[in-house]
Amino acid sequence: MRKTVLITGASRGIGKAMAELFAANDYNVAINYNKSEEEAEKLHRQLLDKKYNVIKVQGDVRNRSQVENMVNTIYSRFGDVDVLVNNAGIAQQRLFTSISEDDWDLMFDVNVKGMFNCCQSVLPKMINNKQGKIINISSIWGLTGSSCEVHYSASKAAVIGFTKALAREVGLSNIQVNCVAPGVIETEMNLHLNTATIEELKSNTPLRVLGSGRDIAEVVIFLASSRANFITGQVISPNGGFVI
């Protein structure tokens, strides 16, 4: 039976790469977006043209009622959510002394509360079905911290702690919860970096390249597969050796 994956923040970047790979591997794919309707519709149309089973579902992951409506829409179309990928996230570079309370709250609302909302919305059916996969997207900065990104690093560290604790709690229901902590990836989120910074990041990466969205998608689809049934509560960091 074909399985269903919900990918939050799937209209571009890493999320888009994941949607494309899951669809090509015969999953039903729910493409979540919040404000990027044009990008989501373009991706949706491209995948439909390839005869893949996909829907696009709008929803702000910070808003519990929107998340629940989104999940119910997926249930009505595909029956279950077998795999949840909490990918929706934001980043911001700012000196710690310049971070406002609103900056801090927004970072945690999207990166942490959004994950919480999505997990609580899909887990009852996963527990009832005695199976499910949850993959949360963190960052190497959640592992090491990054200057001028204290709030971002803290939120991504929270994703890691959340993953480990939830994996212990739902393991008896045969649900695997894992975390992927990407290194520096060539996505729109990093377009603000100048050429000199990009070259420095490459030189500090043993493989001397930055990652792609596809690199991360390949790790995520492995964790979503039956090959990863004995893996839970783990953090996998595809980063080209940037952090060892």
CATH number for 163: 3.40.50.720
**243 found inside a domain:** no
Structural contact between residues 34 and 88, judged by C-beta atoms closer than 8 angstroms? yes
Q: What is the pLDDT of residues 9-28, one digit of tens each?
A: 999 999 999 999 999 999 99
The predicted-structure confidence for 197-221, as pLDDT tens digits, reads as follows 889 999 999 999 999 999 999 999 9
Active site residue 152: yes
Q: Which of 153, 72, 66 is nearest to 112 (CA)?
A: 153
The model's pLDDT over 31-59, given as tens digits with 9 standing for 90+, comes to 999 999 999 999 999 999 999 999 999 99
Does any domain span residue 213? yes
**Per-residue pLDDT, 191:** 65
pLDDT of residue 170: 98
Other C-beta atoms closer than 10 Å to the C-beta of 61 total 26
| Chain segment 58-103, per-residue pLDDT in tens | 999 999 999 999 999 999 999 999 999 999 999 999 999 999 999 9
Among candidate residues 27, 33, 52, 152, the one labeled active-site is 152
On whether residue 209 sits in a domain, the answer given is: yes
Task: Report how far residue 186's alpha carbon sits from residue 97's, in angstroms, rounded to the nearest whole number.
Answer: 28
Give the mean model confidence (pLDDT) for residues 99-122: 98
The per-residue pLDDT of the chain, averaged, comes to: 97
User: Residue 145 falls within a domain, yes or no?
Assistant: yes
How much is the pTM?
0.97
Residue 87 lies in a domain: yes
- Whether 241 is in a domain gets the answer no
Say how many domains are in the chain.
1
**Predicted pLDDT at 189:** 67
Provide the H-helix boundaries in 59-100: 64-78
Beta strands in 37-157 (DSSP E): 54-58, 83-86, 132-137
Quick: pLDDT tens for 174-199. 999 999 999 999 877 676 778 888 89
Domain span at residue 164 reads 4-235
Tell me whether residue 242 is in a domain. Answer: no
DSSP lists the bridge partners of residue 179 as 136, 235
**Does a structural domain hold residue 189?**
yes
pLDDT, tens digit (0-9, with 9 covering 90-100), for 132-146: 999 999 999 999 999
176 in Cβ contact with 133 (< 8 Å): yes
